Amino acid sequence: MDPRAGSEAEDEAIQRIEYTVRPGDNFWEVARRRVRLAVGAEPSEEQVRDYWLELVAINESRLVEPGNPDLLLPGQTLRLPA
């Protein structure tokens, strides 16, 4: 099993329209896991980047520190692009 693949619980959580941040999460990893589920394989960096840009944009108002997408706190809820 690929250690980057994440657990089944992570995969189930990431399929929802909203996602609750867990310790160690960051926007890039959330985007990578979401795109991987959508395409059924490990996504390209370009695919992840495109989703990441949209993910950060739709969550701008939810950022703990405006303009700083690097700061996510466990328990924070993110909206996921469809």
The position carrying tokens 């867990």 is 22
Average predicted confidence (pLDDT) for the chain: 88
Indicate the number of domains in the chain: 1
* Residue 82 pLDDT > 90: no
User: Which residue range is the domain that position 29 belongs to?
Assistant: 3-79
* Residue 3 pLDDT > 60: no
Could you report the per-residue pLDDT of 22-51, keeping only the tens digit for each? Answer: 999 999 999 999 999 999 999 999 999 999
At 8 the pLDDT is 66
